[in-house]
Structure 1
Amino acid sequence: MDAGTQLEYEELKEEMRRMVVINMDKPPQNVHVIDAVQRLGVAYHFEKEIEEALQIINHAQVDDDIYTTAVRFRLLREYGFNVHCDTFNKFKDENGKFKESLIGDVKGILELYEAANFQVHGENILEEALSFTKFHLKLAEPKADYPLSTQIADALNRPLLKSLPRVVATTYIPIYEGYGTIDQNLLKFAKLDFKTVQHLHKEEIKEIRR
């Protein structure tokens, strides 16, 4: 990495750090910021800020849609917070089944699927959610446009719980870019970081082989 690129990389990193901090008083928005930062493989730069943000998110009283609720639940579980699965009861009908209206929100049920994979023994609602979402995602995948179709296929093949961060970043960077309505600076930083890590790994391999 030349000096100019290195400077841009450091500036973008600090901008991303500020973005996490600035959104701390907006828990729903910060859920999506942290989710993108994590999937793009750059969360390791901001662990302290993310931990602080999730503390706030964990205690915030929110009434979010299925998408945000599921992402929030997954992130909190992943970072070791004690978050209860009862948060998904509001998405069930009077018969105790997940509402049919959720089927139209493919991104929402995709995130519910990812969240349900973080279940522990005895969490029946998450077992039901996993069955419900897997069934409808398999139906939705052939009809969905790119990049959502690819994201669904990747998730069904290997959910986030079973994936390594660097592998997730490899597949998610083009998906994130494909959605269009994205943070261009975050995308640029993720690409630079990915190349930097790749270069470091190659250098380490060279040293080992000497």
Structure 2
Amino acid sequence: MKAKVVWNLLRNGFDRLTIYLPIILTATLALGTYWLVRNAPKLLEPAAKEAPKHEPDFFMRGFVIKNFLPNGELRSELFGTEGRHYPDNDTMEVDQVRLRSVSPEGLTTRATANRGLSNGDGSEIQLFGNAIVVREAAVSAGGKPIPRLEFRGEFLHAFLDTERVKSHKPVTLIRGADQFTADSLDYDNLTGVANLQGRVRGLLMPSAAAPGAKH
């Protein structure tokens, strides 16, 4: 009799366990899934792209950079004691810079400064410290003399393709024997117009009398 009672209790307990087994298994699976999610390594999130830093990616010493026209003719030569290229804005910073360029009309321009900053294709250059830009004297296609031009200042910005020289700082302009000073300058070689602003002063020298002219 006692064995029968024990058997009935065991059977009832097993039946109840069978009824609740799916719930127990589901709860155990949920707990296991939660544990795995909490302890699983996190996926790497895409890192934000850093803005390029203004740092040189290569250096040059005692160098010359030459640019050529599509027809193969020399457009410009850039010399320096040391150069640093910055990839973020594709510029070349040059110490003790010297520049020589030739316009399509054959006019030669030379520039020097303590430091220069050229753009990627060499079409423009900013000159800092003891900056000098000289366009050599020449003769036009029609045989008219083109006087020598010289620009001096602590800052000059030369545009080779458009043949312009600009500065927002005091400059000296020497045209032949004439000399002008101003607080700023915008010179366009294609039109031959020099826009001088600020405190403008000029010294005009009388032109030499032609041979045989009467005084």
TM-score, with length taken from structure 2: 0.29
Structure with the larger RCO, 1 or 2 (CA within 8 Å, 6+ apart): 1
Give the number of the structure whose residues are more often strand, by fraction: 2
Larger radius of gyration: 2
Higher helix share: 1
